[in-house]
Amino acid sequence: MPQPFTRSSLLVAVLCLAAPTILGLAGCSRPAGGMADRMSKVRAMQRQAMMKKSGMAQYLAGVDDNSPIVFVAIVEGLTQIYTVRPDGENFRQLTREPGYKTRPVWNLAHSRIAYFRYPEDTPMGDSVSIVVMHDDGSSPKVLAQNKKIDARKIRMSWKPDGSVLYVQELDFPTILYGYTVDTGTQVETIRLPKNSFMTEIHSISPDMTYLAGAGPSQHDNIIHIGTIRRDGKKETDLMQPFHQIPYHLGTVVWAYHSQLVAFELDKIIMVMSKSFSLQFEAYPLTPQDFAGELSGPAFSPSGRQVACIMETTSEGNIGSGDQSVSSDVWLMNVNGTKQRKITHTGSCFDPHW
């Protein structure tokens, strides 16, 4: 049976026609297998060299694509944080206290997890706490509370050595505030360069050199997302291929090597290089079940895979109007191949690898 021609399938078709120089577009013609493999290996070697040069490799020592994925699941009406291995084994519950939890993120060493917690068991309002715990869920500590944060839109970012957490607060969207993990003291601010088209910051790259955020484009005044170096140079509008089309956009997240970004674009996920260059890459990741919807991307430590949520909606009896929604953690390569499901609760969201 032919697949329905939805807005998402239209997007993939537009990408294939409008950007013939983009490498590896899912659903488009790709280089021959041998050439594609060689290109992938070259890019992987380049990124590993960049990580070593930047000093990032030391912080990821012992962390690889077999490291556990942290995520949130709703069980018996309560949100709790869990981890699972990429093979779907060793499913572990880390939190048990009340309060709605969201956006858990590993530090680079994968020894601690930070997350947002609402005071109630529903995400009401924008007053949240920042909590940090060990990788097994022990010793949870509230770093800051009653902070005005849009936890649906942003993720916290860790300093490479794990000593500081950076977060955007609603009252000051062009600033990332840094809080020490030991004391919760505010010790640093990172500001969006004044020359940027962006008006808010979502995250900072793991190597601390680039900011990612959103703002109205000068070309069409529609909200776009982009990246910019902290010194104000090399700004990139990641929505250049999609001018004048108001898509739903998600939070920009970074690969650990700081060379690739990913974000939600309607029902699919875009994986792109952080700036347009001779090594420009873009992969629109489409659901294996095309009736589904992908969200919440997170890169594996190597940057070769992506964890995300695939959400599918099933209809009840004809005419009843009943629907059931199932959302689980899926893994795939950065070009969308080898998709596999690793959780089966049907209520998962916010993965981080």
Q: One digit per residue, pLDDT tens: the chain, 353 residues?
A: 333 334 444 454 445 434 433 333 333 334 445 666 676 677 777 777 877 777 788 999 899 999 999 999 998 889 999 999 999 999 999 999 889 999 999 999 999 999 999 988 888 877 899 999 999 999 999 999 999 999 888 899 999 999 999 999 999 999 999 999 999 999 999 999 999 999 999 999 999 999 999 999 887 889 999 999 999 999 999 987 776 677 889 999 999 999 999 999 988 999 999 886 655 678 899 998 777 899 999 999 999 999 999 998 876 555 545 567 899 999 999 989 999 999 999 999 999 99
What's the rounded Cα separation, in Å, for the pair 350 and 353? 10
DSSP single-letter state for residue 68: P
Which pLDDT does position 4 carry in this prediction? 37
Contact yes or no for 227/190 (Cβ under 8 A): no
What's the rounded Cα separation, in Å, for the pair 292 and 311? 5
Q: Which residues of 314-344 are buried (b: 16+ CB within 10 A; e: fewer)?
A: eeeeeeeeeeeeebbbbbbbbbbeebeebbe
Domains and CATH numbers, the chain: 7-352 (2.120.10.30)
DSSP single-letter state for residue 269: E
Which pLDDT does position 34 carry in this prediction? 65
Which pLDDT does position 6 carry in this prediction? 46
Nearest to 329 by CA among 21, 77, 91: 91
For 199-280, where are the E strands, in sequence order?
200-204, 210-216, 223-229, 236-237, 253-254, 260-265, 268-273
